[in-house]
């Protein structure tokens, strides 16, 4: 799918339409469709094995798209992958910083992959490290950072090339409460202050606000969508609705 000339300004940040993906005979995703509007925070909820990471892998082209279409700001991954991915920043669930390099070296390397000259890259990195509260750790090796600090650096790295859409795959897993809250605050500030669009995969309900857009993925299919505070029966609440929707047949939801 290619973008209509002059229409990028009207396109959503992310459009996933009818996406399916199989591993042999097993369907990991089936007819998945989601839309992340510009400047919105969307939570992608699902239990382990729901297909969240597979969906992220399709959106980022780690996996070839087998069925359906994906577009980022109107640029289809099939026909305009470079333009689409240039607008995308990603924080994967697995940690991917080089622990033997300094914080700045990690970010400069990422900038070089995007063709950013060293001078502008250093200025951009300085601003981003200040934004995530780690300007003083610029020259420290990554191995000396805590888990929460490493996550902040990964967020900074994902923003070096100035994307407009940010994907985060369970970015707070394994972090303590204070570190988790700090990561959530940084990303929400980016949405509020810079109009960034965010797709945030999680299973932690405390990270989701009632006004957020939300999608529940279960066994590779969308089983609910809408404003987080409105999903489920009246008075049910998001967490209760989620547990009911993903409960196995014959097993009472906890």
Residue 44 has pLDDT above 50, yes or no: yes
Q: Taking a C-beta distance cutoff of 8 angstroms, is the pair 216, 245 a contact?
A: yes
Residue 59 has pLDDT above 50, yes or no: yes
Q: Taking a C-beta distance cutoff of 8 angstroms, is the pair 41, 188 a contact?
A: yes
The structural domains of the chain, with segments of one domain joined by +, span 14-87+164-246, 99-162
Q: What is the pLDDT of residue 6?
A: 46
Give me the residue label for tokens 């992958």: 81
In three-state secondary structure terms, 199 is strand
Q: Taking a C-beta distance cutoff of 8 angstroms, is the pair 228, 214 a contact?
A: yes
**Mean pLDDT calculated for residue range 201-227:** 96
CATH of domain 14-87+164-246: 3.40.50.300
What is the band of 250 on the pLDDT scale with cuts at 50, 70, 90?
Answer: low
Q: What is the pLDDT of residue 2?
A: 38
What is the band of 5 on the pLDDT scale with cuts at 50, 70, 90?
Answer: very low
**Mean pLDDT calculated for residue range 91-106:** 94
Rounded Cα–Cα distance for residues 123 and 101 (Å):
19
**194 phi-psi bin (left φ>0, alpha ψ -120 to 50, beta other):** alpha
Q: What is the pLDDT of residue 254?
A: 41
Residue 253 has pLDDT above 80, yes or no: no
Q: What is the pLDDT of residue 116?
A: 96
Give me the residue label for tokens 């469709």: 33
E strand residue ranges, the chain: 14-23, 26-36, 41-45, 67-72, 75-76, 88-91, 165-169, 197-202, 213-218, 221-227
What is the band of 235 on the pLDDT scale with cuts at 50, 70, 90?
Answer: confident
What is the band of 172 on the pLDDT scale with cuts at 50, 70, 90?
Answer: very high
How large a percentage of the chain has pLDDT more than 70? 94
**Mean pLDDT calculated for residue range 146-159:** 96
**Mean pLDDT calculated for residue range 23-39:** 96
């Amino acid at each position: 799918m290619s973008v209509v000339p002059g229409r990028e300004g009207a396109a959503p940040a992310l459009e996933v339409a009818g996406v399916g993906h199989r591993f042999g005979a097993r369907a990991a995703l089936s007819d998945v469709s989601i839309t992340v509007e510009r400047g919105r925070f969307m939570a992608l909820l699902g239990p382990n094995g729901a297909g969240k990471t597979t969906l992220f892998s399709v959106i980022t082209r780690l996996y070839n798209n087998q069925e359906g279409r994906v577009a980022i700001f109107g640029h289809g991954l099939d026909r305009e992958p470079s333009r689409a991915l240039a607008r995308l920043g990603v924080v994967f669930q697995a940690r991917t910083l080089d622990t033997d390099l300094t914080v700045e070296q990690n970010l400069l390397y990422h900038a070089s992959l995007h063709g950013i000259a060293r001078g502008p890259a250093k200025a951009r990195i300085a601003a981003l490290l200040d934004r995530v509260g780690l300007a003083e750790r610029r020259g420290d090796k990554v191995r000396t950072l805590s888990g929460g600090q490493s996550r902040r650096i990964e967020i900074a790295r994902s923003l070096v090339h100035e994307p407009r859409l940010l994907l985060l795959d369970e970015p707070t897993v394994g972090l303590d409460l204070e570190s988790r809250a700090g990561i959530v605050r940084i990303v929400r500030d980016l949405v509020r202050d810079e109009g960034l669009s965010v797709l945030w995969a999680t299973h932690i309900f405390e990270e989701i606000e009632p006004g957020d857009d939300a999608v529940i993925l279960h066994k590779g299919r969308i089983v609910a969508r809408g404003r987080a505070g409105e999903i489920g029966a009246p008075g049910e609440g998001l967490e209760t609705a989620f547990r009911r929707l993903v409960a196995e047949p014959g097993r009472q939801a906890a």
